[in-house]
Each structure stands twice: as C-alpha cells, then as structure tokens.
Amino acid sequence: MRRVVITGMGALTPIGNNTQAYLEGLRNGVSGANPITYFDTSSYKTQFACELKNFNPEDFIDRKELRRQDRFSVYAMVAADEAIQMSGLDLEKLDMDRTGVIFASGIGGMKTLEEEIEAHAHREGVPRFNPFLIPKMIIDIAPGLISMKYGFRGINYSTVSACASSTHAIMAAYDAIRIGRNDVVVTGGAEAAVTQVGLGGFSAMKALSTRNDDYLTASRPFDAERDGFVLGEGAGAFVLEELEHALKRGATIYGEVVGAAATADAYHITAPHPEGLGAAKVMELALEEAGMNPEDIDYINVHGTSTPLGDVSEIKAIQQVFGEAAYKLNISSTKSMTGHLLGAAGAIEAIAGVLAINNNFVPPTINHFTDDPEIDPKLNLTFNEAQEKEVNAMLSNTFGFGGHNASVIVRKYKG
C-alpha cells in the first residue's frame, strides 16, 4: 500500500471563508450562528442557522456560470480551488489521467429543486422546467465541475451517506491513491441546505435547536440543556497525494492519512445505537488500519451534534474503545461553532483536526454551561476555550442518518 499525504486544504465555513480565517475562528471559539437571512422565517419554529458570512460567489465564478449552478456546487468549487492553490500543483506537469476528484454532499441542490417546484406550481398549461434543473441538482455535478475546470481525468464520483458523506469521500480518495489507481485526488464535501425545505424538514423531525432568543449559544454539544443541532452550510476540500509524488515536486505536507473505516449501526433511520456499537466499531477499525493504539491519538473531533441521544452514545463508544486512554486525550465538537454542515461536516471537521496538528492546539467545544450527569466529567471535552497542546495524531468521527458511521485518522508527517 502506498502512503497518502495531505498537500492542500480549502475551507468555506460559517466562521471563516478560507482556511486561515477558519483557523482563527476555531482558535477564538467563534459562534457562526445568525438569524437566517435567505428567506422569511417568521412562521418557523427555528429561525436561525450558521450561514456563510460576507460571501459573494461572483468573486469566484462568472455570473453566467452561476446561473447554471446550485449553491452547494459553488461552495465545492471555491473550497476545491483554495485546496489546489495551497497544494502548489503545477497543472502543466500533472498527469491528468491519474488526478481525480471524489466530492460529497448529503443533499445536493435542494434550493434548485425547491425553486423549480414552486415555480411550476404557478405555471399554467404545458409544464416548463429550467433545462439546468437536473445538472444543478444532482450531487455528482460537484466533482464533475471541478474536473472540468482543471482537466482532471482520473477517478470522479460522489459519495452520499447523509452526515458521513464527506468522510466517506476522504476514505475513498485515500483508498484510490494507496492502491495505485490515482496519484492525486481532490476530495471533500459541500452542502447548502439552509433553505425553506431544509429548515422545515429538520424542524419537523424535532432535530433542530429552537433557541431563537439565544441563537449564538444554541449549539451546545454535551451540555445538559442541549436541544438539537444548528443547521450550517459551506464546504471543505483536501488535496490528497501519493507520498513520493508529493516529495518529488517539493510539496508542503500538512499531514498523513493513515487510517479510515466505515460501519453501520443497523439500528434506526435517524437515532444512533444507544450504546454506540457502530461508532465504537468504526473507531476500532480505523485504529487497526492505522496500526495505532488508543494512546497514540491526541485529539478526537467528535460528531457531537448537540442532540440528546447522539452525544451520549458517542461518548460511550469512545470510552469503550479508548478505555483509560480516553482520559488523556482531548475531545471536542467544532459543530458548537460551525453548526452542522451535514454532508460537508466530515471535511471541515477533518480540516480542523489537521489545523490542530499543524498549529499545536485543540479547538474548543463552546457554549458549555451545565454538565450532563450521563457524561463522565473526568473526560477532557475542551469546553469553551481552545487548549494549547502538541497534537501528533487526530481522529475525526462522522455519523449519518441511516446508521452510517465513518472515521478517519491523520497524523503528523514524520518522513
């Protein structure tokens, strides 16, 4: 198996529109929540989300082209471009047949579909739809558009597993490189579900926080008074590269992907297994593939959505897998700051872990006020403030509706 390293990252998040800004937001414990600006929410139980701030897509993509894209694919293009620029890839020297894109989304072009259905309801006579409806809506258009922009002719597809989607994409890209199919793969995920249907659907499930009068602190992973997650949007991207390929061109290496795994709860369409069995197994398998012991992990970026059931089951899984080592590592949920980016969550949270490795700190779990008696108080959940710490290896968890579990492990590159 060939070794796989990270040579570029791109982040478009509710707390920073590029990787450096995202890093600063993570360090400072910034809340990305705000009253929703995209549509009138006065009739909704939840009226806030974690939207992007001061983002103008015309700064990145031609206006004519924007009419042919949904927001989610725009986000994917922007994050991928930053990752490619950071990687320093020379496109004139790159073997395009061995450079691919595996990019995820949990929902895809929801806004596009929503607009077309609404417009059709008001039309009379022969049905007339936008000819770009289907290509704007489909999830796999994101990797397709990225490949077309840069000429990447290698592996190209999307992974879809709800909130685990982009972690599965990273795992698939890692596998494609280590078995020799491709030398370079751009991977990650994008989501743009802050729409009327997105908000309404998750609200109907009672999955969202309803703290409209205290939206800045509404995302409260592990807090006894947590009442649901906060919807987020954006994208995260990596350039993964075969080690020798990266070394040959003198690339900066930000970390090495050493393990990844996927399991299923086989339990419930939306609820996690109460004992975290699938979550525990996926972490065990990732550690096994990485050839690492529990005590080798310094930081876990947890799924930690701020839901009553999910947070407790994930902690149970961590304690089951890590045993006494669980009390020596840091755990945090960056969803407390960014909200839940659904299919893009795994990508931006893995970026948070890689930034932790490269900057020797652990991002905080903000908005903690009241201890949950079901969660062991001796665990270091990095509450409220970032912690300075040497991070040599991190594990990132994401779990999706349908019982999908995915974990990825990145460690500091050591030559």
The residues annotated as belonging to the active site are: 163, 303, 340
Query: β-strands 99-104, 184-191: how paired?
Result: parallel
The answer to whether the beta carbons of residues 300 and 395 sit under 8 Å apart is yes
The answer to whether the beta carbons of residues 145 and 385 sit under 8 Å apart is no
Cβ neighbours for 264, distance < 8 A, ≥ 6 positions apart: 278, 402, 403, 404, 405
Torsion over CA: 163, 168, 170, 171 (sign): positive
